[in-house]
Structure 1
Amino acid sequence: MNQAIFLDRDGVINEVLTSRVKFVNKPHQLYLLEGAAEAIAAFTDAGYDVYVVTNQGGVGLGFLKERELQRIHQRLHELVEEKGGKVREISYCPHKPKAGCECRKPNAGQLFDLARKYDIDLHRSVMVGDHERDIEAGKKAGCKTVFIGREETAADIQANSLFEAVNPILSLLAE
């Protein structure tokens, strides 16, 4: 079975609720956080598959069409690949925030689906997020967890940025 690194998108890889962008609804609004693409490149170089798992309630709420979301994700792939990294797949929940689906974090449906599809050992994998719902999803799936930010967290490890978390994540995966 394979190991994997699961990354939340907004707030871990790209800016959201900043002076430049409130929400990413168009490809040109996608600004990667400093060092995020380089972090993904480091994971790729270390031989790990990277997956993005993201709640995209704007689709269900009508603020964003799935076709536009696909264009945003294509841009994300391009920006990461420019730095030598690779995201194997981007999984998203398009449902409204209170839809009660299994794919919306803090539920772990996206992680379980990717694990089945790619033969991933969730207990030997890592979920990285900037909200406690990401950490909850990771724990429900049996993953080790990394919180990006300064708030209180139940995660195994905490860092200020994805780039800062590279070595701790690689250490978790080596355990």
Structure 2
Amino acid sequence: MTKLLILDRDGVINQDSDAFVKNADEFIPLPGSIDALARLYKAGWILAIATNQSGLARGKFTQADLDAMHSKLLHELQAVGGDLHHIAWCPHGPDDGCDCRKPKPGLLQQISWALNLDLDEAIMVGDSLRDLQAGQAAGCKQAVLVRTGKGEKTLAAGEGLEGVRIVENLAELADQLLAD
């Protein structure tokens, strides 16, 4: 069985911002998230990110800024023995009508194609309802809500959480997955 974990980025791995995470300096990993990813990677999990980055379409940051954020993430992860297998991002705005912006499943399908893996055994991790909906629309076997980022707000809204696993943060999820 393939162990594929697809993660939202902002609010799951790094601090989120209503003003957008616009550059590498503003890309600040959440406590324990880098270590959690490294532990999962070392245990044989395939790790991918699916992230909406409408700040590109809105002119809040450039592709070079986004690349620098992802380089920082990879550098920090590789420094502790981890890595990512794929990063998929949607550069479109909410009104662009693309098929990749979550809650649509396009980013997850891109990951499936890039890694040549089916999503029926994948786990989708996010802090918002649209992350969970994207995982469900793509046919992932499980959706997980973290309480970090917008997670508490999503939990308080209480919609669409049937069958969703709820954890405090990425470190708790890693503990659970590695114990299974």
Q: Where does structure 1 lack aligned partners over 5 or more consecutive residues?
A: none
In the TM superposition, residue 155 of structure 1 has moved relative to its aligned partner by 5.0
In the TM superposition, residue 102 of structure 1 has moved relative to its aligned partner by 0.8
Does residue 41 of structure 2 align to residue 44 of structure 1? Answer: yes
In the TM superposition, residue 52 of structure 1 has moved relative to its aligned partner by 0.8
In the TM superposition, residue 3 of structure 1 has moved relative to its aligned partner by 3.5
Identity of aligned residues (%): 34
1:59-87: CA deviation from partner (whole Å, max 9, x where unpaired) = 00111111111111111111111222111
Look up the match of 1:165: 173
In the TM superposition, residue 160 of structure 1 has moved relative to its aligned partner by 1.2
In the TM superposition, residue 105 of structure 1 has moved relative to its aligned partner by 0.3
In the TM superposition, residue 120 of structure 1 has moved relative to its aligned partner by 1.2
In the TM superposition, residue 43 of structure 1 has moved relative to its aligned partner by 1.0
What amino acid is the match of 2:102? K
With normalisation by structure 1, the TM-score equals 0.90
Question: Where in structure 2 are the equivalents of 1:91-102 lying within 5 Å?
Answer: 91-102=88-99
Alpha-carbon distance in structure 1 between the residues aligned to 2:96 and 2:2: 31
RMSD across aligned positions (CA): 1.7
Residue 145 (structure 2) aligned to one of 132, 135, 147: 147
Alpha-carbon distance in structure 2 between the residues aligned to 1:155 and 1:162: 18
Alpha-carbon distance in structure 2 between the residues aligned to 1:113 and 1:170: 26
Alpha-carbon distance in structure 2 between the residues aligned to 1:167 and 1:16: 23
What amino acid is the match of 2:145? F
Residue 105 (structure 2) aligned to one of 99, 105, 108: 108
Contact 1:146 1:169 (8 Å CA) reproduced: no
Alpha-carbon distance in structure 1 between the residues aligned to 2:133 and 2:177: 17
What amino acid is the match of 2:90? C
Look up the match of 2:59: 62
Number of residue pairs aligned between Structure 1 and Structure 2: 169
Residue 27 (structure 1) aligned to one of 24, 27, 31: 24
Alpha-carbon distance in structure 2 between the residues aligned to 1:73 and 1:155: 31
Compared CA separation, residues 133 and 169, structure 1 to 2 (3 A): farther
Contact 1:135 1:154 (8 Å CA) reproduced: no
